C-alpha cells in the first residue's frame, strides 16, 4: 500500500476511534446525568422538594418553566410545564411523567426514573430541535391519587390538543422498552423497533399496560403512548398483578414500587443511555414522516 494511502487509512481509523470515544463519553454522561437527577428528585421529602429538584434542572438547562396549579375531584396540586423548542407555529409534541410519590419509600423508580428520562430527552431535543413539531415537557402532580394532574390538564378549556403525548412511568432498569400504544405498528412504534434492536434492546408494544397518565389523554380522545423500562421477563407478572392474579414469581417492579425499597439502590444504568438514544432517534423519525 502506498505510504500516502497508509497515512490516510491511519487517519481514518484515528477519526473513527475519536468518534467512538466521543459517543462513549456521551452515553456515559447521559447515564450519569439521569442517575444524578433521579437521586436529586428522590431526596425531596415532599412534593415541593421533588418539584424544586426538577425546576433546578430546567433552569440549569436554560429552559423557562411555569407552575400550573389545579383542582380536580376535590384535590389540589401543581403541574410543572416547560417549552423545549421547535417551530413556534408547529403541532405540539408533549412529553411527560408524574413527579409525585406515595408516602412510603422515596419514589425513585416510581417515578423519579421517568421524570429524569423526560429531562434527558428534553436536553437532547433542546440541543437539536425537531423540524416539524414544537416540544413541551410536563410533570404531573397527584398521579398516585388517580391521575388527577393529567386529568385536570386535558379538562382545561381551550387546552391545545397535542399531535402526540408521550408518557414515562417506571424507567428504573431492564433490557426492554415496554410501550403502551393502541396500535403496535403505529409510526412511532414502527420507527422504534429496529432502533431498539440496534441498541440491543427489546420492544414490547401494545395495549396491555398498567394504568398511568396516558389514560387521561386517551379518555379525552387525544393520541397518547407510554413507556417503561423493565426486564422483559417481568411484563407478564406485572400484568397479572394488575388484573388481580398472583404470578408464580413476583416481578421486581411490584416488589419495589409503593414500598420502602423504592430508593435509588434499586436503579440500574445498564441500557439506560441506549434506550434514550433509540427513543430520541425514533421521535426524530416520527417528526420527519
pLDDT of residue 6: 43
Report whether pLDDT(137) > 70: yes
pLDDT of residue 30: 83
- What pLDDT, in 10s, does the model give residues 82-96? 999 999 999 999 999
Segment 224-252 shows an average pLDDT of 96
- To the nearest whole percent, how much of the chain has pLDDT over 70? 90
pLDDT of residue 26: 44
Structure confidence at residue 29 as a pLDDT band (50, 70, 90): low
pLDDT of residue 239: 97
pLDDT of residue 111: 98
Output the nine-digit C-alpha cell for 59: 433552569
Q: Rounded to whole angstroms, how far apart are CA atoms 196 and 207?
A: 19
Segment 34-42 shows an average pLDDT of 97
| Domain positions in the chain | 3-288
Report whether pLDDT(42) > 90: yes
pLDDT of residue 170: 98
Q: Rounded to whole angstroms, how far apart are CA atoms 229 and 276?
A: 10
pLDDT of residue 278: 97
Q: How far is CA 68 from CA 43, 113, 145, 163, 212, in A?
A: 23, 22, 18, 21, 20
Note whether 278 and 192 are within 8 A (CB): yes
Q: Rounded to whole angstroms, how far apart are CA atoms 72 and 42?
A: 25
pLDDT of residue 20: 37
Segment 183-191 shows an average pLDDT of 94
pLDDT of residue 282: 98
Report whether pLDDT(24) > 80: no
Report whether pLDDT(3) > 60: no
The whole-chain average pLDDT of the chain stands at: 91
Among 142, 110, 116, 143, which residue's Cα sits nearest to residue 257? 110
Among 157, 188, 169, which residue's Cα sits nearest to residue 107? 169
pLDDT of residue 184: 86
Q: Which residues pair with 95 in a beta bridge?
A: 137, 166
3-state SS string for the chain: CCHHHHHHHHHHHHHHHHHHHHHHHHHHHHHHHHHHHHHHHHCCCCHHHHHHHHHHHHHHCCCCEEEEEEEECCEEEEEEEEEEECCCCCCEEEEEEECCCCCCCCCHHHHHHHHHHHHHHHHHHHHCCCCCCEEEEEEECCHHHCCHHHHHHHHCCCCCCCCEEEEECCCCCCCEEEEECCCCCCHHHHHHHHHHHHCCCEEEEECCCCCCCHHHHHHCCCCEEEEEEECHHHHHHHHHHHCCCCCCCCCHHHHHCCCCCCCHHHCCCCCHHHHHHHHHHHHHHHHHC
Q: Rounded to whole angstroms, how far apart are CA atoms 177 and 276?
A: 10
Report whether pLDDT(25) > 70: no
pLDDT of residue 129: 98
pLDDT of residue 11: 46
- What pLDDT, in 10s, does the model give residues 271-284? 999 999 999 999 99
Structure confidence at residue 216 as a pLDDT band (50, 70, 90): very high
Q: Rounded to whole angstroms, how far apart are CA atoms 257 and 113?
A: 12
Output the nine-digit C-alpha cell for 89: 407555529
Report whether pLDDT(9) > 50: no
Report whether pLDDT(2) > 50: no
Segment 155-177 shows an average pLDDT of 97
Please say whether the structural domain 3-288 has been given the CATH code 3.40.1190.20. Answer: no
pLDDT of residue 18: 40
Amino acid at each position: 500500500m502506498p505510504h500516502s494511502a497508509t497515512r490516510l487509512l491511519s487517519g481514518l481509523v484515528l477519526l473513527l476511534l475519536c468518534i467512538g470515544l466521543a459517543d462513549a463519553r456521551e452515553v456515559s454522561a447521559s447515564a450519569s446525568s439521569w442517575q444524578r437527577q433521579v437521586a436529586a428528585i428522590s431526596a425531596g421529602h415532599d412534593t415541593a422538594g421533588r418539584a424544586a429538584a426538577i425546576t433546578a434542572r430546567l433552569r440549569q438547562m436554560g429552559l423557562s418553566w411555569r407552575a400550573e396549579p389545579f383542582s380536580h375531584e376535590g384535590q389540589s396540586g401543581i403541574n410543572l410545564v416547560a417549552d423545549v423548542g421547535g417551530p413556534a407555529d408547529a403541532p405540539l409534541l408533549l412529553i411527560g411523567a408524574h413527579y409525585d410519590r406515595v408516602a412510603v419509600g422515596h419514589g425513585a423508580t416510581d417515578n423519579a426514573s421517568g421524570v429524569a428520562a423526560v429531562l434527558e430527552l428534553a436536553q437532547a431535543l433542546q440541543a437539536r430541535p425537531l423540524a416539524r413539531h414544537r416540544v413541551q415537557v410536563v410533570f404531573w402532580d397527584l398521579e398516585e391519587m388517580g391521575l388527577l394532574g393529567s386529568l385536570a390538564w386535558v379538562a382545561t378549556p381551550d387546552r391545545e390538543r397535542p399531535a402526540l403525548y408521550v408518557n414515562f412511568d417506571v424507567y428504573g432498569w431492564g433490557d426492554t422498552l415496554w410501550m403502551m400504544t393502541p396500535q403496535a405498528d403505529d409510526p412511532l412504534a414502527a420507527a422504534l423497533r429496529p432502533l431498539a434492536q440496534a441498541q440491543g434492546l427489546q420492544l414490547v408494544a401494545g395495549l396491555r399496560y398498567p394504568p398511568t397518565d396516558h389514560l387521561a389523554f386517551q379518555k379525552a380522545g387525544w393520541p397518547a403512548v407510554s413507556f417503561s423500562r423493565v426486564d422483559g421477563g417481568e411484563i407478564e407478572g406485572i400484568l397479572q398483578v394488575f388484573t388481580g392474579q398472583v404470578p408464580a414469581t413476583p416481578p421486581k417492579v411490584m416488589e419495589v414500587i409503593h414500598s420502602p425499597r423504592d430508593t435509588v439502590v434499586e436503579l440500574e444504568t445498564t441500557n439506560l443511555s441506549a434506550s434514550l438514544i433509540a427513543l430520541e432517534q425514533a421521535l426524530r423519525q416520527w417528526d420527519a414522516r
